[in-house]
Amino acid sequence: MKSNLYFDFVADKVKNTLTIKREFLADRQLVWDCYTKQELLDQWFAPAPLTTKTKSMDFSEGGHWHYAMVDPNGTEYWGWTGYLKIKPIDYYTALDAFCNAEGEINEDLPRAEWLVNFTDRGENALVETVVTYKSLSDLETVIQMGMEQGMMATLEKLDQLLLTLKK
């Protein structure tokens, strides 16, 4: 689905950050719910053709989301998001990592802190995500892993979900 919705992806190699800004055709509360509720995250949080499955989730300060992105052959790519600070429908911060099915963090792959802001843009919602890495090497690793293309494809799946939820 191609649209005229605002999208920006900027890598800052001085601050070791990725800033992703994306507009959605839905109100802020609905978009917040899609980012913070397991039953909705499982429907969109992976680039096609991958799917998402949650092993455990507690969306609260100090809580976590342990999930896998699953490819069509059944290979699972596990992730861990630890929630740090939450201000409902405005923002949350989290520390993410690659892990295994048991939730053991893979220290060989980059970790990052995420600040995810939700604001109104007319009748739509604008989500600004700032991902901060510990080093330029970590930032370049995720760029090489296809972070920009993966985010674009994943957010297009959220567009599709929002269309069905708004009916």
Specify the CATH number for the domain of residue 114.
3.30.530.20
Residue 1 maps to a domain: no
pLDDT at 1: 44
Q: 56 in a domain, yes or no?
A: yes
Q: Enumerate long-range contacts of 43-50, CB under 8 Å, 24 or more apart.
A: 43/157, 43/161, 44/154, 44/157, 44/158, 44/160, 44/161, 45/69, 45/154, 45/157, 46/70, 46/154, 46/157, 47/149, 47/150, 47/151, 47/152, 47/153, 47/154, 47/157, 48/153, 48/156, 48/157, 50/77
Residue 68 has a CB neighbour count (10 Å cut-off) of 20
Residue 13 forms part of a structural domain: yes
Please state, in angstroms and rounded to a whole number, the distance separating the CA atoms of residues 105 and 61. Answer: 19
All residue ranges of the chain with pLDDT < 50 are 1
Instruction: For residue 105, give the DSSP letter.
Output: B
Question: Given this model, what pLDDT does residue 154 score?
Answer: 95
Q: What is the DSSP letter of 25?
A: S
Q: Is residue 71 part of a domain?
A: yes
Element holding 135 (H helix, E strand): none
What is the β-pairing status of strands 76-87 and 17-24?
unpaired
Q: Which domain holds residue 27?
A: 7-166
What pLDDT is stored for residue 32 in this prediction?
98
Residue 91 lies in a domain: yes
- Specify the pLDDT at position 4: 78
- Entry pTM: 0.94
Q: What is the pLDDT of residue 3?
A: 61
AA identity, residue 26? A
Q: Specify if 42 maps to a domain.
A: yes
Side by side, which strands form the sheet with 124-133? Answer: 7-12, 17-24, 124-133, 112-121, 91-99, 76-87, 64-70, 51-57
Quote the number of domains for the chain: 1
Domain assignment present for 2: no
